[in-house]
Amino acid sequence: MVGLILLFIFLTPRSWFRDQPRTVQASQISLVRGGHGSDVLWIEPELLAGVPEEQRLAKVSELLKSRPGKIPVITRVEPILDSEGEVKGYMAIAKP
């Protein structure tokens, strides 16, 4: 019985379970209106997890290219921390 279960697990095609690579979903990057005519994007923390600070700007630009519509020019990315210092998300400021 264990053998049959293992065969099922390892020989079943991924397409049966709709197991596809995860793409950036609309809910993970949200547009928030900023002051002075600039746009601010809220980015969920898992999208930039493990990305060094100096590479965040390039990573955000790359993520935005995969989304439909106009691609804003990002000027800076700032982490948003809670009271304990944990990252709750990132704010990306777009050039007006």
Each residue's pLDDT tens digit, 34-67? 666 678 888 888 888 888 888 888 888 888 877 7
Residues 6+ apart with CB under 8 A from 49: none
Mean pLDDT of the chain: 81
Q: What is the pTM of this model?
A: 0.62
Residue that has been written with the tokens 């379970």 in this structure = 17
Using pLDDT thresholds of 50, 70 and 90, give the confidence band for residue 6. very high
Structure token digits, residue 69: 């519509």
